[in-house]
Amino acid sequence: MGHAQYNYQHYKSKSGFFIVKIQEAFQYLPDWYQKGEVRGKVFQYYYVLRSVMREHPEVRKCLTRCKHCGIFFLTHPRNAGRRDLRCPFGCRQAHRKKSLKERSAQYYRSDDGKKKKKWHNRARSLHPRQPDNGGNDLAHKEPSVQEMVICLDKVALGHIQMVVSLIEKRYVKLSEISKMVEKIMRQHSMVKGEELAYAHANEVQRSP
């Protein structure tokens, strides 16, 4: 029982940590997760992902691949079996922004859009922006761990919430996830640079 509880806490915290760290290195490219320093983090993330599925085989049906970049991730049970999903590390967000930009461009090419754009341009000419003082009145400081958590992408936090809810077999509130991620980031900030040595090279594969 104690061993199972340890594994559960270990996988929960590690999955949250790697989801955050992988997203920090995201690039909107098909093979972004296979290059540079992020490649090692993805290997370790896959190790944790496989471990979660061994401990909780019922979540294997939720495993899917990103339509754009191909990285593996867990999706909500209602999306099990779908092959048109984009990952929460950045592809989903980038696709939404691209679609929004395309819709906006299409709208501003219409007659109503042209009128609205003309109105906006007129408003800007009547109320010009104040010159930037370069921010000299504000002292530069590094963001705190709590500020980093608050600034995290909502899609990534929502994904962690979903994964932890799958593992715990209950609905986990977003406030609980924020506290958990804050704790994880604080712990790892104190041991920055320390290598995580639980993923062996002969165990690492491209897929879980």
pLDDT digits (tens, 9 = 90+) for 93-141: 888 888 888 877 776 777 776 667 677 677 666 666 655 555 454 444 4
Return the DSSP state at 143. Answer: P
The stretches of the chain forming alpha helices (DSSP H) are 2-24, 38-55, 91-108, 111-126, 145-150, 154-168, 174-190
Q: CA torsion sign, 194 to 197 to 201 to 205? A: negative
- pTM reported for the whole predicted model: 0.66
Q: Looking at per-residue confidence, does 193 or 99 come out higher?
A: 99
Structure tokens at 121: 């341009």
Cβ–Cβ < 8 Å for 156, 88 = yes
Residue 131 pLDDT: 56
Mean pLDDT of 182-204: 54
Residues 52-74: pLDDT tens digits? 899 889 999 999 999 999 999 99
- Domain residue spans of the chain: 2-94+144-190
Residue 144 pLDDT: 47
Cβ–Cβ < 8 Å for 73, 159 = yes
